[in-house]
Structure formats: structure tokens, C-alpha cells
Structure 1
């Protein structure tokens, strides 16, 4: 079966009546509800189960084909899979929307309401997890046999709410009603050891005597590609205790003690990213990373050995991709399994490991590269510390033989000090233990070579490559933006859904005034929908005629939400000073979560909300400026915001954003970018044209030069009266009169330690925003530029990115894009 031809499941749905019968069948016999008494959540569960049935035969056919043809398999290891809601995407991928809509209507149910009843899977935080989800979609679309491996978090990250403008965190209990897409696999259980000691056996081999063993239980979710021709698996691991209850303690009345080991075990899969500012949090984070990595490696080795008796063939039949440093422990765990469990020699195991693994780096920020103290690492994973030291010695011998003038201490995987404390550098381990290390944009790959991995690049030249990120057009246009998707299909056909680069056929319509009006009307529908939601959620009435200026991403100082809100303050003051000017109406939309222990990011959220409170209630301002911080940002919220955006804020400090994917999603949906030359903004600018994007600020090279020379933000502030007035207002309590010193930490950061160059880029950002205002006032020209953004970003497809991975890293064949274009015709 080729990649573009759909399979025919045994329970084939040929009509709305077929779908209606199947939904009712699932409601009665699987959900256990009488249709007369069923609530919306019951109907949602029944529909999911009915649609899931359409995947099962295709799923099994895909698996059989992989075994029959002995295809090379890809295993994608990631701490996050931000899959969001799956129902609408799967319905569209299978071509069932018409039948589902009609079936639900005949049952007196509203299609959109049922879709919204599906829980939003809280399995990720931001771009890292959403990229993993897009990649699963693309691997299925391209018929690459693949498994995604992660953790089945019971509570996910956290549910964000606002209390007087402050972020508060509550458990994200997305699993409370069950996850109807998944299949529990009770027969798939692996033992995950922790702690203890390593002893030498009588034959001289090393043996790990673990102090604790936790069980990893598998849950599988089928992930369908476009047209449902191939279905892959997302396998998530849940932690279970080896013994659920200490019966002796329980019988003595020591009930809490009896459950202690079970609670400790299950904590591993309880919450995504525990606060690691404490020793306990660090311990849990390391245990989480090893837990899912070990279970995944044991699982894929079992699958490999079921068909291949010789483990030396592993690199020829298996490709393992490490999504950032979280699963970097796979380097030593795979070696441990090969050496300790399968009797292989160290040198051969290391060679197989390197040829099988590859590593995607997502950030050059030191805290995200992870460094575990030797004490913690040795206590949790004593055998792995031995193997890390062994790899480090081989690596240093390679470095010494390279005959370059290199600082061997900087090259070490095991850092012995240099003022930073002892520790295992997980970024170094992932790099050294893989055959490829890729950046996620052209700029990022170049910065990897020039900065954090410079010395390693000298030892292993050619190992670093760039594979620019991409997004799936199925989710991020076809599914989330029906008004625009319908217009595109009517105008240029549907080939772009399976081959996004075909969207370039839209470009000639940019100068068609009539088409421009239809494009604008599609945007207006999305803006009206979002305006209604903002009013419902925040009690803030906003005009769809205003420019919707959007910054939606994880709250972090390098992403510079602070720069955005400071410009809003300056704009607010300017409007108040000249209220009779013809100002361009603007709605600033913020959404994003701050890590629970990241106090500065939380303070910036509070500042945004305090400024919003002042601006939104000021009668002088009216509708000319509104500010909305929408809490609990997740995939479903992004799907509503992105189609409505006019302006895309991509304003990170140059050299610090590896790529970004929000920039791609927003441009694809006709938003014009304002941003720095950072991450994939560089490539977006090249493809959409400099006149169709607003670039400002220092470059990565200029930032690096300022860091070397020393940057004096105080001088910049004193020389810019607008900047000074903004900082003085924030610091003096203009927006926090009840607590004038509330934002003193922000002012001090800007004045004495402006590491993210907010003050340096402020004036340029202000100028760029006024150019944006001028451009937005010319509706026809703005729409023309928006159309060109949509037409020219087809290269930023996850399908293209996966083809690059398949060709440059995994050694896997993929069908040509023409296969999907021909199928669409």
C-alpha cells in the first residue's frame, strides 16, 4: 500500500447512517449510557471510540507491513508530546467530517460542542512538545514506521489561573474522565531499577544491585496521518509500584507507611516538570528521565529481537531520536542493556549506541542543557555513572588524537569543577554518544558550532547539522482555521494539505482585490470568534476591527514579553498625551505559563495584568488600546488565537531562540511577523520577503560583541526619555499604587543586569511598531502582505522537516511530495 492510498477498515463508514449507528452502539455498549440520559461528555466519549475504531485496522495493517517488509523503524524519545485534542484532526485525516456532522445532527447533537468536550491532553509545556506531536503526524503521513515514547502524566504541567493578576497553579487533571483514545497494554511491563550499588561478579563483569525497582506500564494511542493510510503509535509509560501495599505495615495500623512505596513510585508519572529548584525536585526529574528512557529502550530492543537475533544489526534497523537533553541518559542506558543484559563488549556496545542514536538540541541556554551533580547521578544511577566515566575517557582520547589546541576540561562529559561544581553534562553526553546532533534552524546549527558545542565540533567535525523545524498543516491550518482552509481549497485545491509547499499556488492571488476581500473576511470570522471568547473569559469587550497583536509562548525572559508590555506602556502614555490623534486600534494578546519556580517570569505576568487593568479601564483610551492576558495557554487555546492574529510577536533576544514554531503557525495563517533575526525568523524573512515582515533589533553577532565588551543599560536608559519614563512608571508604582515597590526587581534587572538586552532593543522595537500601525491602516496592502506570508511559508512544514531527518539522519525512505499532490487530484 503506498503512502497516499487510504486503507479500508473492516468497520468501514460509508454513510452518515453508518456513523450514527456506530456512535449509538459505542454510547450504549462501551460508555454504558442510554441515549436519552447521556450528557455531552458521554457523547464525546462515544464519538471518540467510534472514530478510534476506524483507526484500528489501519493501525494493524501498518504494523504488519513494517514487519513484513522489515522496514527500518524510528523511535522518537521526548519528555513532552503536546498532542492536544485528537478528535477533530483524526476525523479530518480520515475524511469523515461530513458523515460525523450529519450523524450528530440526526441525534440532536452539535458537532462543535462535542469536539470541545474532549479533554486537552496535558502532556507538554510548549514548542518542544508540540513539535514532537507535529512530527508524529508527519511520520504517519509519510508512512515511516515509528513510535513516539514519553510519559503518561496524570496531571500534566499545571492548570494556570490568575488571582489578582498573579499566576496560580492547580493540578491539570485531564485524565479524570479517562483518555478514550488509548489502549492499555497490561502485558507490557518493564522493571526500572534505581539506586543501590554496583558489584563485580566472579567472571569479572559488573552487576547493578538496585535498591528499588519501579514498573513501567504501557498505554498506546494510535496517531493517523493524512488520509489515514498509515497509523503509528504514541506509547506512554505510567509508573507503577512493584508492590502496591506493605501488608505487614497495614495490618499494624501503619496505613501511610504501608502505601509509602506506592506513592513514591507513582509520583514519577504524576506531574510534568516538577519544580527542580529543590534537591527533591532534581531527584524526581532525573528519575522521570531515566524511567521513560529505560522503558522505551527495553521495549524497542524486545521488538527488534523478535525479528532479528543479532543486536549488531541494530543501527541498520533502528533509529532513535533524542528530543533535547531529557532522554540523553539513553546513551549509557542502551550501553548498559547491551553490555549487562546481552553480554556485549564495551567497545562494540559503544559503537552500536553511537550509530543508533541521534540528538536534537533545542536550546543553547545552559540550564536547559542539564547538568546533574555527581552525588545525585551516582546515587540514582550508580552503574550509569561508571559508564559515563568510561565514555568520557574514550572521548578524551579521541579529542587528544585530534591534534588541535583544545581545552580538555571544557570537553569533558564529567565536569570536575572550573567554578561550576562537579557534574555530568548531559548535552555533552548526548552529543558524544550520537552520530548526529542537529540544530532546529540554520542560525541555531551555526550557533551550536560557534558557541556551546564549538570544541566538540572540532573533535567531531560534520556531526552538527541543521534541520529547521516545521508544523503540520493539517492541525495548524486545515483543522484550526476552517474559514481560511475552505477559501484555499476553493481557490487552489487541497494538495497543500498533504504537501504544504503546494500552497505557493496562492501567491498570484495576492494582487487580486476580490480575493483579498475574501481573505480579509475569513480573518474577520476568526477574530469575531476570539473576541467573543475574550469577553466570555475575561469580561473584556474588544473590537474585531482592532489589530490583534499576539504573543503566545512560554513565559521566559529571553522571549521578552517584558519588552512587549513596556512598549504597550509607552504607547499608552503616547495616546494619553495626544488623545485626539488618529491612533490605530490595537488589542495586545498574551498567553503563556511561567514555570512554578521562575519568580521573575511570574512577576512579568503580574506586570502585564496590572498594566492591562490600568489601560482597559481608562476612558481616555477607549478601544484604541486593549490588553488581554488569557490564562491556561494550551493547544486548544492556540487553535483559536492563531487564526485570529494579525501581528505575530517573535521578539526573543537574538541568538537565544533555537527556532520557534509559533512563528511558522502564525505566518501560515496570515499574520505578519514582527521579530528579531533569531531562530527560524531568519529563514521566514528570506522566504516571505523583507517587505512582508518587520525585523528590528540587534543581531546575534552584535549581542555577542556587546557581551564581550560589556553592556551598560543605565546609559541606554538615560539617553532615551521614552524608555526612562516607562521604567520610572513601572518602578514608582504607577501600575501598582497599592504596592509601589512591587516591580522593583524588574527595574533592577533592566538597570543593572539586562542580560536579555531589553533596553538595547527598546527604541528599535518602538519604531517597528509604529511602522506596523501605518501598514495596518492600509487594509488592502496589509492583506496582500498577509496572503504572501501564507503562500510563501510552505517550506516550514513538519513533513519537509521529517523528510530531512529521514534523509540526513535516520537513513529512511519517504514517498515524494508528488504522491500526495496526485492523491489530492
Structure 2
């Protein structure tokens, strides 16, 4: 008689599969034990928390594998269009806690580890942060990968597998010290090397023409050097779904890593020289590009990952049996800022030189495939490359860019006859001074869609930076306001608030942030407000403990936590924040009985290694902190702390603890910002200018729940056109003059008047970002902050409303807009084979 009883081998296979992919604590525990033994080779009795982290990570990755493979199979079988997100940065943050959340495995992992005598939080703390990004650009890219998977959109992220991150920041005697970020020193359990997926990338050399078999003239690139790009894949699991997309990062290797001939003749260094030179390409994130060698390496990085990525897309197209003419039907290729914009010329090269399409056909495919996201309004941040450098490094691409430019400028002349000034402004080649290749222009000409990242930013793009292109192609432009993922920046970062939201609203807010609007129904409930304040207090205590450990500065969680964390830059105006702090300091010194609420000012952020003034700002923050924190006349009501090495891990402590979010950039300079959204999500109130996404945050939360100050973008532009004189503002504000004199006197530098002279002179002589013009309004606005803080119930209502009305700023909303309006993408349901 036939039965359904499994054979011994079938039973063993079923048990093995359960251990490998089962989601219950027992199966996960067995997976951890198995990986300790078979993958790590460690006795449980001798295993450290770091060993358990690696074993748990591998066990969790096992549970991603079925979903990952099945997701790829589904996309391939259904011939779905794929979004390819090209970004030089992906600031992912630690993977373990995020994957546990998205798989619903948090409690199972805690139970499995407890049975093994381990604590999950301790294990999570063992994970190094991937050094794959610097700031907002890379964090945005990571949020978008999370949303793409959560919303089940077919997608792959393409970038660079940097061996070393940008740098680990230490503070020594108040100065930023850069240390090597060795994030890969112990390996990365989340990635899988794919040595079978590799491509050759050319560099330098020259081009030559030849006749093909049909007698047609072709161009051949004869490179000086060839580097090999090797794929490393990381699974990106969506929340609450079986979709698991891919982040594919490229690592550079030598085509021939060891010269045996040189070794045999005794030249040991020459034998490995090619390997070292090739691997330099992906050695470190964003090398210092002040010297010429740094610029060359940065260009090499950008071209390297773009070429590998486009070659990979063509390979997948071939595997699917899809003709290259349908490239744009199968791929939506998004350029995350100008770093990957060389892709326009590279796809043309691949289609014309390698696939032998004619120019018009190749160009139609290229424009249809690419979309370009602009992230900056600062002229110095719009990438350009000197013509001699570009010609030396990418000779074939320069020829292609010249031809793109010739055809494009013919269009411009036909549309605007006789307007040679416009032709010069729009040219892909800048003619002023040393000739430059303008990468933002290349991206704009070679993309069918161009978007800014906040409503104000897009408006300014259309009317200033890219105004000529908007006039030519208004249909190409749209706005896609940035967003952040609530999974990491609330659910993971703020477990206390997450629990309150789950009890109050249910859990649907995690995938529909607009559901938080229902919090408004609870705003008049005293018990709800009391619990809200208790959660905030606990978060502030958690951050205070961290700051005390890292810096020695003791902060009282009952004080107002006033926080500015972001890249250190003049336009972000950390020095305006300092001028307010010193204004309060001087007032308290003059009148110790002054009635101001106690306030902790918290800063964090990195300065680019070559950015002189930004590094002086960090020094001044720490110098002011040292003086104020040691002064018993003021330190009962003012303290200042600088959190070193701002990154995703400590950001998860900082955002939930903030009472006040400082978003004080010069209006018209910040593209969007995403830190402002993370603070808002966690119930912080914003003090800010009408800049970037601040405009939309204020619209959402209401004027009465936002502390607005300062010149508008139009007023800034008008003032600068009229001839801004910082002396005018100094002459009319004696208190401002006194603060600057105090800084310049050496008061915060042991009497050394030279240390901060460059900062003071920058403000008094030119003040390029109108710090002095906004000073009085900022100080007055901070007085309104103090007044609101003095009424805890009012402040709590405002905080709840900030969280309740942040639904627009979910990365899920942003990705839906990209998918619907630019990429033409549809969600694809994935059903994983789970035993």
C-alpha cells in the first residue's frame, strides 16, 4: 500500500531544510550552532560574541537565500522590467537587526541566542558598519533599496565595494583626525562573491579606426591598462514580503595578478605591481581629489563601476535571449547624481563599438533607458573633469561626448537661432578657463527624465542651474521629494515609540506611513502624552549615556536636546548655531540669573579631509564645548557635545533623542535633506529656513509647529545680486560683533588669536552663506523655541503632530513616484520556496 511517509533520506532532507530556513527559535538556534561548527570552526565554549554574530548572520542569510533565488527566478521568468539604481554610495548601516526586522525574526533570534547563553543586543553591537557611503546621498540610496524590495519592485543596486570607507573620525584636542575605516577586516558575512560574474574595464591608451567585415568604418579602443571587475552580491530583503532584491558591488582586480616572468628574474615587486595598481581603484571611498592623482582615481572609480554595471545588464539581456535593441524596455537606469553620468557615453560605446548599432538607434536607446537625479545646487558640486585628464583616461568616451555635443548643439541652434550665449551655456564642454567636461550636462542630455529631490530644489533647478535645459525639454523635468525608511529610522531606532505606535494604531504604519495621521486622535489624551514624554526621556538617557562614554560630557535628559548632525559644510551653517550658543553664553556670563531653559547642544558630522574651514568649524565646536562645559557659571544651563564619527549606528541613537532639529542651511543651497525627515519621524520639532524639504515639512506639519526664520531663497539671491556686505550686518548688531570678537580674540584657544582667525575673517570679509544676515532672526527664533519648551504639554502636542504628519516623507512614497512616473515599473509578487 502506498503511503505518504517520507523515506529516511527524505526525512533527513526535510529536517535539514527546516534547520536551514526555519523561522522558529529552535531551527534558528540549530542554524547558529551549525555555522559555529561548519562555517567558522569554533567550539561553542570558546566562542566570543563576535563569533556568535557571524554565526547568526550566516544563519539569517540562509533564510534570505530561498527568497533571493526565487526573486531572481521570478524576474527572469516573467521578463519584468528592472530598475537599475547606479550610485557611488550605499550607506546601508548594519544589516543584522534590519534583516531580523524585515523577516519577522527578532523574537526568534532573541530566544535562540538566550538558549545559547547569549544576548541579542550584545551580538548586534558586534557588527561593523559597512563603509560604503558618506552622507545623505548614500543613505538615500540605501532607503530606496529597502523600499524597492518592500514594495516588490524588480530592482538591483549597482555600486562599488570599497575596501575601506571614507574614514573613521576621531577628535583629538578638538581637531578631526582621519583614521582608516577597516570595515572589511573581519570579512562580510552578508555578501557572496560571484567570481563567474566579472568584466574587463579599459583605461587610457588611444583609439584607432578600422573597417569591419561589411566595410563600415568602426572605432577600436586600444587601452593602456585593463582592470577586471568582480561582482559581490548582498541580499536586500523587503519588509514583510518574500521579495529579496540584490545590491551588486564591484571590486577591482588585476586581469593578470602575478607576473611569473618578473618573479623568475628576481623582480619581486614588479611581479605583483599590476595587482596592487588595479586594486587601488576600489581601495577607498572617495579619495582626496585635491591632488591630480586623486581626481584621476575618482574618475577611474566612477567609470569602473558604471562600465561593469552596464556590461552586466547586457549579459543578462543576452542570457534572456532579448535583443539589445530592447535594452530600454527591460532596464530603467537611474543615475544617482552625476557620479555615474559617464554611463551615457559608456552605453553609447557599448552599443556602437561592441554591438555595432548605428548612432541614432543607440542614442534613442540610451536616452530612453537613463534617468538623472540631481542632488545639488552648489556650482562646485556639479562635477566637471578637465579635458586633458579626460582625454588621457577615457579617449574613446571623449570622442563620443564630442559627437553627442555636436548633435545636441545643432538642436539648440535650430531651436534658438543666433543665441550663441545659450549654446555656450548648454555645451557639454565648458569653455571658460581650462576646458571642462560638464557631467551634469551630459546626464541631462542623455536622460529622458531629470528630477530634483524637493519641490523648492526642483523649482530652482528649472529656473537656475538647468534653466536652459528646462526651457528646451520641460517634459523631462519632475520633482521626486526624498524620503526615508520608517523601518530603520523608527522601528529599529526607536523601539519604545514603535511599541506605542503598534499598540495605538496597529502595525500597518510600517508600510503606510500616512497611517500615523491617526495619532492626532490621541493628542488630547493626557496618558498618551505622558507615555510619549517617557519614551522620549528614555531615548535621551540612552543617548546621554553614549555621549558620556564617547566624550566624557555628562548631559541631563531633562534638558532640551538641541541637535545638529550632518556633514560639516559652510552652507549647512554649523557656525550659525555656534553664534547662538555663544550669544547665550555671553548673556549668562553678564547675568547669571537670566531665565533660559537648560539646553544641551549636540553636534556630529565629518568634514572632508581637504576642507580647511569645515575642519576649523569642528575645532571651534569642541573648543566652545570645552570652555562652556568647564564653567560653573553657565554649565548648569548650557552644555555642548560633539559626537565623533557620525554614522548610521549612532544616528539610530541620536534621531529618537532629539527635541529640536537644526535645519538651518542658507535658503536655496540644500537640495532636500533627509536628516530633517528622520528627526521629524521621531517627534523632534524643526528650527529651519525655507530650504530643501524644510518647505514641505512645514507645509505638512503646519506653520505653528515649525520654527521658521531667515531669508528665503529669492531674498538670498536678490541680496547677493545687489552686492551683499557683511559689514552692514555687523554694524547693526553689537551683540553679533561682540561674539565674533570673542572668537577672534583667542578666548576659546588659550589666547591664540590665529586658530580661528580664518573663520572670523571668512564671515566678516565675505560671508558667502549669509550667516550674519540670518543671525538676528535665528536668535529671535530660538527665543520662541525656549518659550514653547517651557510649556511641556504644548511641546508634546507639537512633537506628536510632527510624527503624525510625516507620512509624505517615506521612501516608499518616493519610490512609487519613480516607478510610476519615470521607470514604468510594476510590482511583482514573489512566492518563496520555504520548507
Identify the TM-score tier after normalising by the shorter chain. Answer: over 0.9
CA contact (8 A) 1:411 1:456 kept: no
| 1:431 alignment partner in structure 2 | 444
| Aligned with residue 293 of structure 1, among 301, 306, 309 | 306
CA-CA distance at 1:319 after TM superposition: 0.2
1:199 to 208, 213, 238: 208
Q: Residue 26 of structure 2 aligns with which residue?
A: 17
SS at the partner of 2:226? strand
User: Does the 8 Å CA contact 2:96/2:124 hold for their aligned counterparts?
Assistant: yes
Shift of 1:10: 8.6
Q: Does 1:317 align with 2:326?
A: no
Equivalent in the alignment of 1:188: 197
Summarize the Cα distance change of 1:139–1:9 in structure 2 as closer, same or farther, 3 Å threshold. Answer: farther
Partner of 1:417: 431
Q: For residue 498 of structure 2, what is the aligned residue in structure 1?
A: 485
2:424–2:430 CA contact under 8 A, matched in 1: no
1:133 offset after TM fit, Å?
0.2
Match of 1:658 in 2: 671
8 Å contact from structure 2 (residues 71, 243) kept in 1: yes
State the alpha-carbon separation in 2 of the partners of residues 51 and 815 from structure 1: 24
**Superposition pairs of residues 229-248 of structure 1, within 5 angstroms:** 229-248=242-261
Please give the residue correspondences for 1:131-142 in structure 2 after superposition, counting only pairs within 5 Å. 131-142=140-151
Distance 2:515 2:430 in 1: 53
2:156 match: 147
Number of the residue aligned with 1:5: none
**TM-score, length-normalised on structure 2?**
0.95
C-alpha distance in 1 between matches for 2:552 and 2:794: 33
Which blocks of at least 5 consecutive residues in structure 1 are unaligned? Answer: 1-7, 820-825
Deviation at 1:14, TM superposition (A): 4.2
Between 476-485 and 304-313, report the one with greater CA deviation: 304-313
- 1:628 maps to which residue? 641
Q: CA deviation at 1:254?
A: 3.1
Partner residue, 2:513? 500
Q: Secondary structure at the match of 1:588?
A: strand
Q: Name 2:364's counterpart in structure 1.
A: 351
Measure, in 2, the Cα distance between the counterparts of 1:15 and 1:373: 58
Task: Please tell me whether the aligned partners of residues 490 and 498 of structure 2 are also in contact (alpha carbons under 8 angstroms).
Answer: yes
Question: Does residue 144 of structure 2 align to residue 168 of structure 1?
Answer: no
What is residue 9 of structure 2 aligned with on the other side? Answer: none
Q: Which moved more, 1:456-465 or 1:789-798?
A: 456-465
Q: Give me the TM-score of the superposition, normalised by structure 1.
A: 0.96
Equivalents in 1 of 2:281, 2:253: separation in Å? 9
Deviation at 1:316, TM superposition (A): 1.4
SS at structure 2 position matched to 1:623: coil
- Which whole-Å CA distance do the structure 2 matches of 1:473 and 1:205 have between them? 52
**Is the partner of 1:596 in helix, strand or coil?**
coil
Alignment partner for residue 564 of structure 2, among 528, 535, 551? Answer: 551
Counterpart selection for 1:573 from 581, 586, 589 = 586
- SS in structure 1 of the partner of residue 340 of structure 2: coil
Q: What is the CA–CA distance in structure 2 between the aligned matches of 1:435 and 1:330, rounded to whole Å?
A: 14
Seen in structure 2, the aligned counterparts of structure 1 residues 197 and 9 have a Cα distance that, compared at 3 Å, is farther
Q: Cα offset for 1:274?
A: 0.6
Q: CA deviation at 1:535?
A: 0.8
Q: CA deviation at 1:279?
A: 0.5
Question: Contact between 1:138 and 1:225, CA under 8 Å: does it hold in 2?
Answer: yes
Q: Distance in 2 between matches of 1:644 and 1:791?
A: 17
- Alignment partner of 1:507: what SS? helix
Q: Partners of 1:724 and 1:335 in 2: how far apart?
A: 57
Say which of 84, 107, 130 aligns to 1:75: 84
CA contact (8 A) 1:654 1:677 kept: yes
SS of the counterpart of 1:729?
helix
SS in 1 for 2:371: strand
Counterpart of 2:654 (choices 641, 646, 657) is 641
Deviations 1:381-409 (A, max 9, x none): 00000000010011111111223656244
Distance, in Å, in 2 between the alignment partners of 1:189 and 1:738 is: 59
Q: Deviations over 1:466-499 (max 9, x none)?
A: 0000000101101110000000000111100011
1:309, distance to aligned residue in structure 2 (A):
3.1
Listed one character per residue, the Cα deviations across residues 265-309 of structure 1 (whole Å, up to 9, x for unaligned) are 111111111111111000000000000000000001111222143
RMSD: 1.5
Query: Bigger shift: 60-69 or 373-382?
Result: 60-69
Deviation at 1:251, TM superposition (A): 3.5
Give yes or no for the alignment of 1:757 onto 2:763: no
Q: Is the Cα contact below 8 Å between 1:325 and 1:427 reproduced in 2?
A: yes
Aligned pair 1:110/2:111, yes or no?
A: no
The counterpart of 1:612, out of the listed 615, 625, 628, is 625
Q: Please give the alpha-carbon distance, in whole angstroms, between the structure 1 residues aligned to 2:328 and 2:202.
A: 26
Query: Does the residue aligned with 1:201 lie in a helix, a strand or coil?
Result: strand
Separation (CA, whole Å) in 1 of partners of 2:375 and 2:261 = 48
Give the gaps of 5 or more residues in structure 2.
1-16, 831-835
Q: Residue 804 of structure 2 corresponds to which residue in structure 1? A: 791
Structure 1 segment 173-572 matched on structure 2, within 5 A = 173-203=182-212, 204-403=217-416, 405=419, 407-418=421-432, 420-572=433-585
Q: Residue 585 of structure 1 corresponds to which residue in structure 2?
A: 598
Alignment of 1:37-48 (within 5 A): 37-48=46-57
Deviation at residue 262 of structure 1 after TM alignment: 1.6
CA contact (8 A) 1:441 1:467 kept: yes
CA contact (8 A) 2:430 2:438 kept: no
Work out whether residues 80 and 128 of structure 1, in 8 Å CA contact, stay in contact via their aligned partners in 2.
yes
Q: Distance between the aligned counterparts of 2:753 and 2:337, measured in 1? A: 41
Q: CA deviation at 1:255?
A: 2.9
State the aligned residue count: 809
1:248 shift after superposition: 3.2
